Amino acid sequence: MQQTWFITGSSRGFGRALALAALAAGDQVATTARRPEQLDDLVAQYGERVLPLRLDVTDPAAVRAALDEAAARFGGIDVVVNNAGYANVAPIETGDDADFRTQFETNFWGVYNVSKAVIPLLRKQGSGLVIQFSSVGGRVGGSPGIASYQAAKFAIDGFSRVLRVETAPFGVKVLVVEPSGFRTDWAGASMTVHDAPAGYESTVGAMNTRMRQAGAGAAGDPARAAEILVAVAKHDDLPDNLPLGVNATEMSVAQDRRLLASDERWGDVSRSADFGQPFPAALPKA
């Protein structure tokens, strides 16, 4: 079954790997980038099955125009992938406010713009899949130095839960992908690392060392992940959230177990806030 993809951030990293995997599977792909000339090699190799588009996902009008052009060219869109995003490193205390907001504009509002703009098209079709790239950090959290990026990823999950419920009657599915470390440019040239003051060596400094200076690189293979997602997109039974990578899987399972244990331990206290429930409830023993 040939599908038509619309992928943001297609010039490198996960976006490019996904475009290549979808094209290798015989699909059609609208590839987007701020500099579409970076996609010329895909057009040269796959011809009319590739539509390169210039796109800044923070521009809602440009998003609508790109989606309309892709739908007109291919007769519809089956899979929309919100992949565009980046992270800069700085402690919350000393980080630049403007940089924090600019990251959030791309990492969350870009996802919002594309998701909102494509709903009328998918509703009219009566089908479609929206794949939102989050992160294991958007499920587990607590990665020092990338608060803006991680906050946006948590926001994507919350936003996507509502999107999933609202669009399900139209035949639309929503999948949140949560990768751990992959060998992309995310922690390379795409990332700016700002100086951290004394006292942050064990948190922001240690995270920077793990992300930027690890010799072997991350364990995740973007090509494998892309092949997995292309196969998943053609599958009928989808999860709501899909961790990708060993670390993402193990961290997610551990976090879910911690939350369940905590909720059960504090359950009586939590319930006691309602009228008609036993009050006061004894606090759990330390």
Which residues are CB-neighbours of 186 under 8 A, at least 6 positions away? 13, 86, 87
Active-site option among 10, 46, 135, 149: 149
Cα distance between residue 46 and residue 22, in whole Å: 11
Neighbour-count burial of 279, counting CB atoms closer than 10 A to its CB (0-12 exposed, 13-18 middle, 19+ buried): exposed
32 contacts 58 by C-beta, under 8 angstroms: no
Clarify whether 134 is annotated catalytic.
Answer: yes
Q: Which strands make up the sheet holding 50-54, listed edge to edge?
A: 50-54, 28-33, 4-7, 79-82, 128-133, 172-179, 241-244
121 contacts 71 by C-beta, under 8 angstroms: yes
Clarify whether 270 is annotated catalytic.
Answer: no
Cα distance between residue 10 and residue 5, in whole Å: 11
Active-site option among 11, 46, 153, 180: 153
**Residues assigned a catalytic role:** 134, 149, 153
